[in-house]
Every structure is written in C-alpha cells, then in structure tokens.
Amino acid sequence: MPTISEKGMHMPPSPIRKLVPYAEAARKRGVHIYHLNIGQPDIPTPEVMLNAIRGIDLKVVEYSHSAGIESYRRKLAGYYQKNRIMVDWQDIIVTTGGSEAIEIGMMSCLNPGDEIIVPEPFYANYNGFSTQAGVIVKPIPSSIETGFALPPIEEFEKAITPRTKAILICNPSNPTGYLYTRAELETLKSIVIKHDLFLFSDEVYREFCYDGHEYVSVLHLDGLDQHVVLMDSISKRYSACGARIGALISKNKEVMAAALKFAQARLSPPTFGQIAAEAAIDTPQSYFDEVIHEYVARRDFVVDALNRMEGVYCPKPSGAFYCMAQLPVDDTDTFCQWLLESFSHHDQTVMLAPGSGFYSRPELGKRQVRIAYVLSLDSLRKAMECLEMALKHYPGRLPMARGLATEVEA
C-alpha cells in the first residue's frame, strides 16, 4: 500500500477545531454550547458588502488577474494610505484569505530548512504554514505575567542562527490580544536590520485597538521597506470570514515578483469575495465605532469575570478579540474535552481552545486557554457562569496554595 508524504504525516491538525467531534456529540445530547473556541464573530457583516454580493450581475464568473482585480487593489491601497501605510496598488497581491498570504510569503522569502523566529504563544496555524513551506519555527516565549509583551531583545539574539531568515509577529495578537508598542517595534526593527532579516507582520486585527492605545504598523517605521512583508485579511475587519480574501503587501519588488509566481500557480483569488471586499472599503466609520464599543464591553466583562473566579488569572488585552487565561486545572486539553463530554450547567456548556495548541511545546500551555469573546454579552454571561461552575466540579482542579509565578512555571 502506498504511503503518504512526510509533510502529510507531520502536518499538524488544527488544535482549535480538534474538539469539534465532542461538541457535535454534546449537541446531539441536547446541550447548548457557547463557542468561545474560534474567532468567528457574531457581528453583522456590513450592509454595503452584502449589497454588493446581492447586486452581482455577471454572465461569466471569470478568473481575475492573479494579483487580484486592479480596481480592488487600487481602492485597497487607498485604505492603507488612510492608515498611514504608504503603499501603491502594485505593492499588493490579493490572496485567498490571510492564510494564503502567509503561505506565499513564507515560500517567497524562505528556503526549506530556514528558520523563522516567532514570539509564543502564537496563532496555531503558523505551525501548519511553516510545515507546508518546510520552514522551522524558532519560538521565543512571552509571559502571561507581563501580559505577553514582546520578549527581551536578548532572547531574539540568542535564537538567531545562520539559518535564521525572518521574524514573524501578529499585531494585535491572536491568541493573546496583546498590542505591540512603538518602542517594541523599534526594538524589532533594530534586530531585523542588524541581522538582515525579513519581518513578517500579520496585522489582520488593526481595527481592534482599545483604551486609546496606538496602532503601529511595521510599515510606519522608517528604513524597513525592503524587509517588511505584511499579511492582511478582511475576515475579522468586516466580520466576513467566509469571503476568503486577504492580501500580501510589500515594497520589496523582488519579494513581490516571487510572490506573484506563486499566485499565478493558483490562478486567481475568489471573484465574488473580491467584489464584496472592494465594496466593503466604503464601510462607514460609524460601523467600526459601534463594533469597537461592543468588543470593549465584551472584553471588560469576560476579563473581569475570569479574574473573579478563584484561581484564574487573565491579563487585559489591548487589541483583537481574544484573551489567554490561566486556569487552576491539571491540563486544559483534558479540561476542555471534559467540558463537552461530561459537564453541563442547565443543559449548557462552553467550548474553549486549549492553550497547548498555541505553543511549540504543548506543555507550556497546559494550564492556559484562549477565549474568543465573539458572542453577545448575554451569551458571554451564561458562558462565564458555566465556566465558573465547571471549575468548581472538575475532578482535575488544582489546589490554590501556590502563587501565579509558580503556577506559570509548572
């Protein structure tokens, strides 16, 4: 019998979706599940975007240019320029979601066996993208005690080897919600220039920055134009995850020429998604003002509720719509499965993403979970009530004799 490829064997399954069979079984038992495990917002997609889809009147659904429809790329360049990201439309390749932007970026800039440094915890699918590209992820741990701030520059220096080719960040961060400061990004700039590296920046959550904190793109920094590869997506910005439209942006012409060849190999990004995305750029600011107000209320409620629970610690994030919480349990993989298999409170339970999937070494996240506060406040109240009750009844609950620092190290 023929065997599958080594890449197929080593390709990691989604740690965010691995509990789906248990959730499906719970639903069949009549248990209502509050899905806080995945970044699928319940925020309505902008009407201007939906109207563009409803109004499509094509006789033939043709391929677009491999880099994307020109009118969309021109309009998208205007969007970036309003955000002080001074790129031209020819600095943009439209991709099938932000995922393809990351894949193409890695394949365009790194050879198999090259290393990319990533602060962890990090978006779980970075592991999958790097496996596809044959790239080795070199993680640098950040700490829940600092709210997952950028690790010290010394940690980056220690991780750099002759095979190091790039650094990858997500800002604001999935899974932590941390928003990097200008000073932190300037630190990264110094490392990138000193060692002549690429700086990949996943900035799909740029609209979601809270408490007056400044959003700083790596393309706001002087002297990095030839080093930066920026990845973007409309999925979260417009609550349009299913449209599957992203973008790869760089002012490095050599990178873009290579990226275009990969884009040509997959022919073109989705036509309907591009039409919708082009219309979405006309979304009024009032839409984002309302969305941000809603997310701040959700964040404040969830983080406060978590920190009131005995033995739970959750730093307050400044961006995105995720938080990482530390729970007083033996293993969050086991706990999250138990929530779906063995627990219900008034025929309800909650689905969380175990922290192990966001680390290169699963044991580092065995006490943590990622929570996506993407449901209504009423649903979040019920979800937090379920979680609090579950923590009281979970057989693997840990005693509360130790302090945070000891627990983090455990």
List the beta bridge partners of residue 249. 92, 230
Cβ-proximal residues to 405 (8 Å cutoff; 6+ apart), any chain: 145
Q: What is the mean pLDDT of the chain?
A: 95
pLDDT at 339: 98
Domain with CATH 3.40.640.10 in the chain: 47-280
Calculated CA dihedral for residues 379, 380, 382, 383, nearest 10 degrees? 110
Cβ atoms 333, 16 nearer than 8 A? no
pLDDT for res 14: 82
Identify the bridge partners of residue 201 per DSSP, sorted by sequence position.
169, 230
Helices (H), 83-180: 97-109, 125-133, 153-159
Residue 403 pLDDT grade (very low, low, confident, very high; cuts 50, 70, 90): very low
Q: How is domain 47-280 classified at the CATH fold level?
A: Aspartate Aminotransferase; domain 2 (3.40.640)
Residue 15 has pLDDT above 90, yes or no: no
Q: Above 70 in pLDDT, residue 402?
A: no
The per-residue pLDDT for 178 is 98
Please state which of the four CATH numbers 3.40.50.300, 3.40.50.1820, 3.90.1150.10, 3.40.720.10 is assigned to the domain occupying 6-44+286-409: 3.90.1150.10
- From residue 145, how far is each of 185, 217, 224, 361, 375 by CA, in Å? 20, 25, 31, 19, 27
Higher pLDDT: 7 or 281? It is 281
The shares of helix, strand and coil residues in the chain, as percent rounded to the nearest 5, are 45, 15, 40
Helix (H, G, I), strand (E, B) or coil at 232: strand
Check: CB of residue 219 under 8 Å from CB of residue 203.
no
Which of 230, 150, 253, 153 is closest to 194 using CA atoms?
Answer: 153
Of the pLDDT bands very low, low, confident and very high (cuts 50, 70, 90), residue 409 is very low
Q: What is the pLDDT of residue 361?
A: 87
H-state helical runs in 55-136: 70-82, 97-109, 125-133
Range in 16-25, 34-43, 84-93, 393-402 with the lowest mean pLDDT: 393-402
Mean pLDDT of 355-376: 95
pLDDT tens across 153-200, in order?
999 999 999 999 999 999 999 999 999 999 999 999 999 999 999 999
- CATH 3.90.1150.10 in the chain, residue ranges: 6-44+286-409
At residue 406, the pLDDT reads 37
Token pair belonging to 396 = 């693997």
**Residue 72: its pLDDT value, please?**
98
pLDDT score recorded for residue 408: 42
**pLDDT, tens digit, for every residue of 247-301?**
999 999 999 999 999 999 999 999 999 999 999 999 999 999 999 999 999 999 9
Query: What Cα–Cα distance (Å) separates residue 49 from each residue in 144, 233, 279, 321?
Result: 38, 15, 5, 22
Strand-pairing partners, residue 246, are 95, 233
What are the tens digits of pLDDT across the range 85-101?
Answer: 999 999 999 999 999 99
pLDDT of 132 above 60: yes
pLDDT of residue 176: 98
pLDDT of residue 405: 40
